[in-house]
Amino acid sequence: MRCVVACIAFGVVVGACSSFSDAPSSDDAGTSSGTASGTSTTSTSGASGGTCAKCAAAAPADWLGPTVYAENPPICPPGAQVGKALHDQLDVPATGCECSCEAAKPPCTVKFYGGDGAGTCSAGGGVLVNAPLNTCVSMGSAMAFQVQVNATPPSCAEKVGPIPPPKWKVDGTICERPLETCGDRGVCMPPGATVCVYRSGAFECPAGTAYTQKKIRYASFSSSRACMPCGCGPPTGASCKWNAVYSRDQNDCLGTTLTVTETTSPNCQSRSGTTASGKLASVSAVAATCLPLAPGAVVGSASAAEPTTLCCAP
C-alpha cells in the first residue's frame, strides 16, 4: 500500500523514495522496493510535503534511532548536530616514561681563617674568622689567609614521565536532529548516509530487520598505566667555585701586590707567607651529575570502555 506523505531530510529537499510494506500492491509493482523493517531507496512521500531519498524503518523495541552515524571523519550531514562521540581501535603506546635524575646545586660551607702559614684551615693552625662574603679581613704581619669551601653532596631527584596517552584510530559520532517521518513510522535519511539504530552496551543486532551490520564502538577508555620508578645513582662532580683576593702590604685588600685565586678544590687554600689582608670575593655552586639506575618503563594497561552497539543498514 503506497503512503503519500512528504519529508525533508536534514533541511535539504532530495529525491523521492517509497514507503515499504510486506509486499507491494499491484499498482506499486515495478516502482517500489524495500522490506517491512528496512530502508527503501525509491520514492515515498512524507509528512511535511517534501520528498526524501531514503526512508529508514523505525527502530525496534529497546533500540534508539534510526540515525546517521559518521566516522573517520566524524562529520555529520548538513543540518544535523554532532551527538554522542564514539571510538574504536585504541592504540596504547608500549614505550614512554623516560627517566632522568636531577641534582640541586650543593650547599657551600665556607671556612675562613687567619692563621699561620702552614695553611691547615683548622683551629689549631689559625683563628676562624667567619667573615661575610666580600668583607676584607686584616691579618696582621704574622698571619696567613686561609680559605676552605666544601660542597655538601646534594641529593638526586628522580623525574619519570610523561606517560604517552592512548589514542583512538577510529573516531565517530552519532548525528542528532529531529528527522522527518516517512513510510510506516520510518525516518527520512540523506542519500549516501550510514543509517543505524543503537543502544548502550554490547548486543547482537535485532533479528528480522535491515539493521544487520554490527559495529561496537566505545565512549571512553579505562587505564591503570603508570611509570616504574628508576632510581638514581650517587651524585658526582658537585663542587663550590670560589674566588679570593689577598694583599701583602695593606690591611684594606687594596694593596699594590694582589693575588687572585680561583679554584674548585675543597682542600685548604692558603696564601703562602704572611698576608696583610684578604677577602673571599665570590662563591658559586657547581651542580652534580646523577644518572638513572634503570631505564623508564610503563606498567599497567588501558582498554576501551562504555561500549555502544550500532546496527546499520547495508
Residue 191 above 50 pLDDT? Answer: yes
Q: What is the per-residue pLDDT for 82?
A: 87
- For the ranges 191-200, 227-236, 275-284, which has the lowest average pLDDT? 275-284
**Does the pLDDT at position 226 exceed 50?**
yes
- The mean pLDDT of the chain is 75
Report the pLDDT value the prediction gives residue 15, as an integer from 0 to 100: 34
The predicted structure's pLDDT at residue 51: 66
Using omega within 30 degrees of 0 as the cis cutoff, is the peptide bond preceding 162 cis?
A: yes
User: Averaged over 286-304, what is the pLDDT?
Assistant: 90
119, pLDDT greater than 80: no
Is the distance from CB of 257 to CB of 286 less than 8 angstroms?
no
Confidence (pLDDT) at 271: 64
Q: Are strands 4-6 and 45-47 parallel, antiparallel or unpaired?
A: parallel
Q: What pLDDT, on the 0 to 100 scale, is given for residue 237?
A: 81
Q: What is the pLDDT of residues 37-63, one digit of tens each?
A: 455 444 454 445 556 777 888 899 999
Helix (H) or strand (E) holding 176: strand 167-176
In 243-301, alpha helices (H): none
| 109: confidence class by pLDDT, cuts 50, 70, 90 | confident
Q: What is the model's pLDDT at position 123?
A: 57
Task: Specify whether the backbone of 310 is left (phi greater than 0), alpha (psi in -120 to 50) or beta.
Answer: beta
How many angstroms separate the CA atoms of 51 and 180, rounded? Answer: 10
Q: Which amino acid is at 62?
A: D
